[in-house]
């Protein structure tokens, strides 16, 4: 079945790197995504990775995918106060079309 888990909370200092982790159970993932949600707002697509890739880098963001362990991570370099938000990982599955299964979300707090 579909189950996507994330740690609930992460606190980092401004300028440090943040690493947000996600584990999933279904091995038929096609794409895996990271979304950001600020208070009172919708979801902003940050980046995504195809399931046959190991890594993707996009400016300050690095996504690592370990298919064997079903583990996905998002690294944010030089974290800024504007990065404070809730981060969701999500997956689409083979045969599932555009249906996204979301993780529980990780609240990132960036302190000065």
List residues binding other proteins (CB under 8 A).
30-31, 33, 35, 41-45, 48, 88, 90, 92, 96-105
CB of 58 to other proteins, least distance (A): 13
Residue whose CB is less far from other proteins, 99 or 109: 99
24 DSSP β-pair partners:
4
Q: Which is nearer to other proteins, 82 or 97 (CB)?
A: 97
Encoded tokens for 78: 């030089």
Closest contact distance (angstroms) between CB of 69 and other proteins is: 23
Cβ closer to other proteins: 42 or 82?
42
Q: Kindly state the DSSP code that residue 1 receives in the 8-state scheme.
A: -
**Shortest Å, Cβ 60 to other proteins:** 19
Distance CA 98, CA 69 (A): 24
Q: Is the Cβ of residue 23 or residue 104 nearer to other proteins in the bound state? A: 104
Tokens 């300028």 locate to: 15
Burial track 86-110 (b if 16+ CB lie within 10 A, e otherwise): bbbbbbbbeeeeeebbbbebbbbeb
- At its nearest, how many Å lie between other proteins and the CB of residue 11? 20
């Amino acid at each position: 079945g579909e189950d996507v888990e994330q740690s609930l909370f992460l606190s980092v200092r401004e300028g440090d790197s943040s690493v947000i982790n996600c584990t999933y159970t279904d091995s038929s993932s096609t794409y895996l995504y990271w979304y950001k949600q600020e208070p009172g707002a919708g979801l902003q697509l940050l980046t995504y990775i195809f399931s046959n890739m190991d890594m993707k880098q996009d400016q300050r963001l690095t996504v690592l995918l370990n298919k064997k362990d079903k583990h996905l991570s998002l690294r944010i370099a030089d974290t800024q106060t504007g990065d404070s938000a809730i981060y969701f990982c999500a997956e689409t599955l083979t045969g599932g079309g555009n249906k996204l299964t979301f993780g529980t979300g990780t609240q990132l707090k960036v302190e000065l």
